[in-house]
Amino acid sequence: MYEKYEVRPLSSKLLKLRGISPRTITEHYKLYEGYVNKVNETREKLQAVDMTKGNATYSEIRALKRGEGFALNGAKLHELYFEQLGGKGGSPSGTLMKAIQTQYGSYDAFLREFRGSGLSGRGWAILAHDWVRNELFVYITDDQQDGHVIQSTPILPMDVYEHAYYIDYGTNRSEYITAFLENLDWSIVNIRYQTSVKRTSPRFRISFS
Ligand SMILES: [Fe+2]
């Protein structure tokens, strides 16, 4: 049996962001609550489904499993998203800054790729740490469920679905990305990075020889 997925409360600091309105945040938070509820609902329904009736074209199991994965990613990505907002923006420091500079040549080069990815994804642009290769990279997903890269920790997920910015910026996603970066708490991203780096170990390196 799964433990019930509990909704995390909305921090009051998220209602005081610069350039991302309380209305956007409260509407966005409702979507997050919906994902959490669907995690619980799909898992409960899976308990009762006939597992011998699986089918890749259509089956109850397929519908529930696809829904479960979508809802789980929706819940988790939004928890990361909300957690990292409420900061002063600026730029990262310490080991994360060093890693970004090593990976991209400069912080500005990283920002160019991150912003460009944000304009190009239909769902999320995510700075991740690959804990097998011990490197940073940015990937985009067009939906919440598919396109995520294995053996990697999302350390900075940027929601670029229209619901994240349309109320405040209409179609001007670029201005939203600026506001998003201005409200980032890089210390949280740094903690995620350091936690992921601890997972890096030669034992994860696969040898075919
Ligand atoms: Fe969202």
Q: Give domain status of residue 137, yes or no.
A: yes
Q: Give domain status of residue 206, yes or no.
A: no
Find the 24 Cα to ligand 1 centroid distance in Å: 10
Global confidence as pTM: 0.95
Summarised one tens digit per residue, pLDDT across range 62-96 is 999 999 999 999 999 999 999 999 999 999 999 99
Find the 44 Cα to ligand 1 centroid distance in Å: 24
In our burial notation (b when 16+ CB lie closer than 10 A, e otherwise), range 75-85 reads bbbbbbbbebb
Q: What is the mean pLDDT of residues 104-119?
A: 98
Domain count within the chain: 2
* CATH number of the domain encompassing residue 116: 3.55.40.20
* Cβ 111 vs Cβ 102: under 8 Å: no
Residues 30 and 76 in one domain: yes
**pLDDT value of position 1:** 81
Find the 105 Cα to ligand 1 centroid distance in Å: 31
Q: Which residues surround ligand 1, an ion (CB under 5 A)?
A: 159, 161
Q: Is the dihedral of CA 119, 120, 125, 129 positive or negative?
A: negative
**pLDDT value of position 208:** 67
| Domain membership of residue 53 as a residue range | 21-83
Find the 102 Cα to ligand 1 centroid distance in Å: 31
Find the 164 Cα to ligand 1 centroid distance in Å: 6
Q: What is the mean pLDDT of residues 105-113?
A: 98
Mean pLDDT of the chain: 96
Residues 77 and 113 in one domain: no
**pLDDT value of position 204:** 61
Find the 124 Cα to ligand 1 centroid distance in Å: 9
Find the 27 Cα to ligand 1 centroid distance in Å: 9
Three-state SS for the chain is CCCCCCCCCCCHHHHHCCCCCHHHHHHHHHHHHHHHHHHHHHHHHHHHCCHHHCCCCCCHHHHHHHHHHHHHHHHHHHHHHHHCECCCCCCCCHHHHHHHHHHHCCHHHHHHHHHHHHHHCCCEEEEEEECCCCEEEEEEECCCCCCCCCCEEEEEEEECCHHHCHHHHCCCHHHHHHHHHHCECHHHHHHHHHHHHCCCCHHHCCCCC
Residues 102 and 77 in one domain: no
Residues 138 and 43 in one domain: no
Residues 157 and 124 in one domain: yes
Summarised one tens digit per residue, pLDDT across range 118-175 is 999 999 999 999 999 999 999 999 989 899 999 999 999 999 999 999 999 999 999 9
**pLDDT value of position 159:** 98
